[in-house]
Structure 1
Amino acid sequence: MIEMTATDLRKDLFRVIDRMLETGESLRIRRRGKVVTFDARVVTDTAMEARIAKFDAAMALGVRDDAADFDPGDITDGAHLEWTPEDNPR
């Protein structure tokens, strides 16, 4: 595990990132008495492609059956609330 202060990290950021990618080491940063830990994990293109495919599959399902006839402009469907100024006294 690589341990350093935030100031040291700022000085050597790219070197530290390269080291993490090469070795898989974690990074522990100390700042104002608190510690933050980062783990090296390379995200591959296949992982991103899997997320995109999952999203596209969900979008292909389309509108739910129970919401297919919903019209946001229809105020006669009983789903709207009535409000009068007396309901909100100041």
Structure 2
Amino acid sequence: MPYTLTPQRHAARERVIAQRDDVTRRYTNGESLLSLAHVYNVGNSWLRDRFAEWDIPLRTRSESVKAAWRHVRKTEQVSTFRRPAD
């Protein structure tokens, strides 16, 4: 039996396509692809395919981590570097 989209999922995909400029702006400003997929209720692989189709460069894993850390306040960042005890 072939896979068919539910009307809700189809509407969500259409909304992403209609709001393409906003979606790509949010991604290029640092929002993660996964969070955008959750906000718009679409699959992250589907959204990744749209970015590739729209020629939006995807972040590497390293770039994604750096973008995530930019949104954390300096006081909340915990170093994983262990200093020797005095």
* TM superposition score normalised by structure 1: 0.29
Structure number having the greater strand percentage: 1
Rg larger in 1 or in 2? 1
Higher relative contact order (CA 8 A, sep 6+): 2
- Structure (1 or 2) with the greater helix fraction: 2
TM-score (norm 2): 0.30
